[in-house]
Amino acid sequence: MLVVAYDNRSEFEIEDAMLEEIEDAMVRTLLHQEIGVECEVSFSFVKAEEIKNLNAEYRGIDVVTDVLSFPMYEDFINNRTTIIKENPFLPLLLGDIVICVQQAKTQAAEYGNTLTRELCYLSVHSVLHLLGYDHMEDDEKSEMRIIEKDLMGDD
């Protein structure tokens, strides 16, 4: 269902158990969204400086952020039938996810979460972006949060 190409350029060791939970969270997201083909995601763990530079370059925001998503397709969720039919090659590359582990660790402490739980949440959030979800408008943000809470088991 999902092929993940991991790259760790952060200063933190990412344990296999963490990777398994992250991958499970991403698979749950794809199943929830009824994506019925094998998919691939490129996944990088990076240092704060690298994600800050990427954020400045691609979003024009010169600050450290927790996660960036680089979708392969615009609005995949509304065009998935066409995208899948036009791309006979599997796995279907959805895009790239870049997570700053240092920022995730800070947020985990702020929210009272484990680092693994925070990385899983950021992964779910990012896969939703790869599938065309956004949170620029209040209704979009609300829809995304409902899905994230459902997938993460939050009440």
Is 32 within any annotated ligand binding site?
Answer: no
Helix (H, G, I), strand (E, B) or coil at 44: strand
Residue 126's contacts (CB-CB under 8 Å, 6 or more residues apart) are 67, 68, 69, 97, 99
**What CA–CA distance (Å, rounded) separates 83 from 72?**
10
Is 135 within any annotated ligand binding site?
Answer: yes
Which token pair is 17?
A: 């158990």
User: What's the Cα-to-Cα distance from 65 to each of 49, 110, 152, rounded to whole Å?
Assistant: 10, 15, 21
The CA-based dihedral angle spanning residues 105, 109, 114, 116, taken in that order and rounded to the nearest 10 degrees: -20
Question: Would you list which residues are annotated within the binding site for Zn(2+)?
Answer: 125, 129, 135
Question: Would you list which residues are annotated within the binding site?
Answer: 125, 129, 135
